Amino acid sequence: MAAGLDAAEGLTGKPGRPLRAARLRLSGFFWRHRWAKGLLLLAPPLLAFALVYLASLVALFISAFWTVNPFTTAIEHIWNLDNFRTLIDSGAYRTIALRTIGIAAAVTLTDAVLAFPFAYFMARVASARGRAFLFVAVLLPLWSSYLVRVYIWRLILNQDGVLNWMLNKVGLPNQHLAYTNFAVWLIFSYVWLPFMILPVYGALERIPHSFIEASRDLGAGGFATFRRVVLPLALPGVVAGSIFTFSLTLGDYVTPLLAGGASSQFIGNVVYSSVGISNNVPFAAAFATVPLIVMALYLTIARKLGAFEAM
Amino acid sequence: MIRIRRAHVLVAALAVALCVPASGISSGSGLPTSIGKGEGQLNLVAWEGYTQPQWVKPFTKATGCKVNAKYAGSSDEMVTLMRQGGGSQYDMVSASGDASLRLIVGKDVQPINVNLIPDYKNFIPALKSPPHNTIKGVHYGLSLQWGPNTLLYNTKKVTPAPTSWSAIYDKKYKGKVTVPDNPIQIADAALYLSKTNTSLGITDPYELNKTQFDAAVALLKAQKPLIKKYWGLASDEIDLFKNGDAVIGASWPYQTNTLIAAKVPVKDLIPREGATGWADTWMLSSHAKHPNCAYMWMKWVSTPKVQAQQAIYFGETPANPKACTIMNKLSPGSAAQYHCGASAKYFSSIKFWKPPIADCGNGKKDCMDYTQWQQAWTQLKG
């Protein structure tokens, strides 16, 4: 076909003809060789993925087995397990890892509980216009900087902040919420909520109405329908959302730094101070493998639960 | 952060630096004899409040050197910043005594020719060749300002006014206390114990044997439930006091001045146990890309006027006592308030930051070194 067109082109005798001919030959080549088309499409992202993403991960993992010279803080390329030994032996790092994972899990659970009814309303109850409005409402906070939102929470929770001002107005005592792990949990739950609502909405929207009708026709009550039809079908969406909320919390260090108290260090904070204050990149790399392993386990479980089909 | 075997290296390196004549750095060799043309730029690592437009702008105007400053929250961070990227990212650092020696030993900073700084000869004798920046007669920087770490409190919330460091270890202010997020804070606890628990026999808060060190760390552990937040940057502490989340804490005079300017009812004092403190030095990176601008900067910040401006802005004492009269002109009474031209006795009453090393003199090598301080601090914060 390409050749035929080529010949027809040749008869018209318009200027710019050789260029067009070459283009057609090229498209002909790709039409005949499908693999070449695939390669061309995938090459740039694959290359970027391999070079930028995988290479840096490998570099991270390798440097975890080095140490720094304590006095000059230059990296010494001697293979050893000192960093991992320190991590395991020191109670402080265990506490920090457990705190990070614990708060990430709590945030995920909170967001799942908050997001489900909201997404259900969006998908199955709201009118088309109402749904559009709710979409905007969910996405609107994402338009402002993450930092701004954390600072706003600080203003709310401060000793002399908005919350205590309101509590005092109705005669309730001051609450000391600022700079606590509670504040960290609260802010994370707020900041990552949209990332839970959207996949859950997607999963709920895909449940055909006929399934629910069938369930009711077969005599199941509202609760049984929810438990045995809606929930199992929506679960992959919840798990997909939880991947976002869990991993985002796991890797964060800004919120604990700004809103945390005397015992609010996250893995990310230790990584940050290892690099920025102690100049100990290998130790930071070693600690950074902990969330990597946690996420690998988490994703394996999520895959089993069918989360990847819901994304 | 946790480092294994840092102890030995630190001791060895410091021993070399302090005891052996600085070989290879013969004075005169390689030192500039005049200041050349400015490079148009100067990159600084500084304490918050050290590079105010008030004296930076006229400097840039006079020399054409554009100043880029990066604030650091602790001496550790300063050392790291000066070493990152091969050490050529920043030209100068306003290092305190605990960082300056580490930078000298790590060869991160280079000797300077003090004769190129006209105001050097006016400095108080104690800061002409202090042990934290001058080794065997070789000057590794120019003394700048000095002062005490103070006890800051909210005058409305803390009554009666505190007179002792015991206030920040007192359950009375549970959840309202803030102290710096810095291993050197252990020295503050040790200083307090040196006066309140004399049986420990602490004479120098930076030279602590195992028993003394453990006592200081135990005091800080007991203090932890009282802490609202360990502050990283001075501005963090300012926020805490502004919003009422903290009412008492360990501080620098800079925070007091900033808070008073913002009409927050605060006061600070040197409690009766005395205070730790800092003596800062502008140091020149071994790999400085803008050495001429750096020399111009040293010349500039040591002039009486800039010394006075900075002293008043931060709340510290200038190295150049010629600044005292200007201080009083800018803000009446400020020279006395910040001990400008203070006696050698007052100077020596402040326990200046210095790096803790195992060798605490007296032949014994049983002191806890800085690695152990850092480890203890990390464990403490958890």
Q: How far is B97 from chain A (nearest CA, A)?
A: 16
Counting Cα atoms < 13 Å in the Cβ hemisphere of A242 gives 25
Q: Is A92 on the interface with B (CB under 8 A)?
A: yes
Residues in chain A: 311
* Strands B177-180 and B227-231, sheet pairing: parallel
B184 vs A contacts (CB less than 8 Å) = none
Alpha carbon distance A308, A200 (integer Å): 13
Counting Cα atoms < 13 Å in the Cβ hemisphere of A295 gives 16
Q: Each residue of B332-364: b (16+ CB within 10 Å) or e? A: eebbebbbbbbeeeebeebbbbbbbbbbbeeee
Q: State whether residue A289 is helix, strand or coil.
A: helix
| Predicted local confidence at residue A308, as pLDDT | 75
Alpha carbon distance B152, B247 (integer Å): 8
| Predicted local confidence at residue A70, as pLDDT | 66
* Strands A75-76 and A67-68, sheet pairing: antiparallel
**Where do the CATH 3.40.190.10 domains begin and end in chain B?**
6-144+279-341, 150-274
Partner-chain contact A72 B83, CB within 8 Å:
yes
Query: What is the mean predicted confidence (pLDDT) over A124-143?
Result: 93
Partner-chain contact B1 A72, CB within 8 Å:
no
Partner-chain contact B245 A158, CB within 8 Å:
yes
- pLDDT value at A209 more than 80: yes
Q: ipTM score here?
A: 0.76
Stretch among A183-197, A213-227, B213-227, B300-314 having the lowest mean pLDDT: A213-227
Partner-chain contact B1 A161, CB within 8 Å:
no
B230 vs A contacts (CB less than 8 Å) = 262
Closest by Cβ to B9, choosing from A71, A82, A273? A71
Q: Is A77 on the interface with B (CB under 8 A)?
A: no
In B, minimum Cα distance to A279 occurs at: B80
Alpha carbon distance A251, A248 (integer Å): 5
| Predicted local confidence at residue A10, as pLDDT | 45
Query: What is the mean predicted confidence (pLDDT) over A108-115?
Result: 97
Quick one: angle between helices B253-261 and B234-242, nearest 10? Answer: 40
Q: Is A178 on the interface with B (CB under 8 A)?
A: yes
| Predicted local confidence at residue A118, as pLDDT | 96
Alpha carbon distance A178, A175 (integer Å): 9
Counting Cα atoms < 13 Å in the Cβ hemisphere of A133 gives 6
A262 vs B contacts (CB less than 8 Å) = 224-225, 227-230, 381
Alpha carbon distance B208, B367 (integer Å): 5
- For residues A70 and B6, the answer to whether their CB atoms sit within 8 Å is yes
Partner-chain contact B224 A263, CB within 8 Å:
yes
| Predicted local confidence at residue B24, as pLDDT | 36
Partner-chain contact B80 A159, CB within 8 Å:
no
Top residue of A273, A275, A281 to mutate, by most chain B CBs within 10 Å, is A273
Q: Is A68 on the interface with B (CB under 8 A)?
A: yes
Q: Which residues does residue A260 pair with via DSSP β-bridges, in sequence order?
A: none
Top residue of A67, A73, A255 to mutate, by most chain B CBs within 10 Å, is A73
Partner-chain contact A71 B245, CB within 8 Å:
no
| Predicted local confidence at residue B19, as pLDDT | 42
Closest CA to B78 of B97, B99, B61, B51: B99
Closest by Cβ to B244, choosing from A96, A158, A278? A158
Closest CA to B42 of B356, B291, B377, B369: B291
Of residues B130 and A308, the one with the higher pLDDT is B130
- pLDDT value at A71 more than 70: no
Alpha carbon distance B208, B223 (integer Å): 19
For chain A, domains (ranges, CATH) are: 85-310 (1.10.3720.10)
Alpha carbon distance B326, B256 (integer Å): 21
A92 vs B contacts (CB less than 8 Å) = 378-379, 381-382
A260 vs B contacts (CB less than 8 Å) = 229
Q: How far is A276 from chain B (nearest CA, A)?
A: 6
| Predicted local confidence at residue B151, as pLDDT | 96
CATH number for the segment(s) B6-144+279-341: 3.40.190.10
A98 vs B contacts (CB less than 8 Å) = none
Q: How far is A113 from chain B (nearest CA, A)?
A: 30
Q: How far is A131 from chain B (nearest CA, A)?
A: 39
Burial (CB < 10 A; 0-12, 13-18, 19+), residue B325, is middle
CATH topology assigned to domain B150-274: D-Maltodextrin-Binding Protein; domain 2 (3.40.190)
Q: Is A95 on the interface with B (CB under 8 A)?
A: yes
In B, minimum Cα distance to A67 occurs at: B3
Residue carrying the six token digits 């309101």:
A166
| Predicted local confidence at residue B155, as pLDDT | 96
Mean pLDDT of chain A: 88
Q: How far is B128 from chain A (nearest CA, A)?
A: 27
| Predicted local confidence at residue B357, as pLDDT | 83
- Residue A191 token pair: 């900041």
Alpha carbon distance B178, B165 (integer Å): 13
Residue A2 banded pLDDT, cuts 50, 70, 90: very low
Q: Which residues does residue B261 pair with via DSSP β-bridges, in sequence order?
A: none
Closest by Cβ to B371, choosing from A70, A160, A262? A70
| Predicted local confidence at residue A311, as pLDDT | 60
Partner-chain contact A159 B243, CB within 8 Å:
yes
A86 vs B contacts (CB less than 8 Å) = 2, 4
Bond before B160 cis per omega within 30 degrees: yes
Q: Which residues of B touch A (CB under 8 A)?
A: 1-6, 9-10, 13, 74, 76-77, 79-80, 83-84, 102, 105-107, 175, 224-225, 227-230, 232, 240, 243-245, 371, 374, 378-379, 381-382
| Predicted local confidence at residue B7, as pLDDT | 47
- Residue B373 token pair: 């301080």
In B, minimum Cα distance to A82 occurs at: B4
In A, minimum Cα distance to B86 occurs at: A74
Phi then psi dihedrals of residue A292, to 5 deg: -60, -45
Q: How far is A193 from chain B (nearest CA, A)?
A: 27
Tens digits of residue pLDDT in A36-55: 888 888 888 888 888 888 89
**Which residues in chain B show pLDDT less than 50?**
1-7, 9-28
Rg (CA), chain B: 20
Q: How far is B271 from chain A (nearest CA, A)?
A: 24
The 8 Å CB, 24+ separation contacts for A150-153 are A150/A187, A150/A191, A150/A254, A150/A255, A150/A258, A150/A259, A151/A258, A153/A183, A153/A186, A153/A187, A153/A190, A153/A259
Q: How far is A166 from chain B (nearest CA, A)?
A: 16
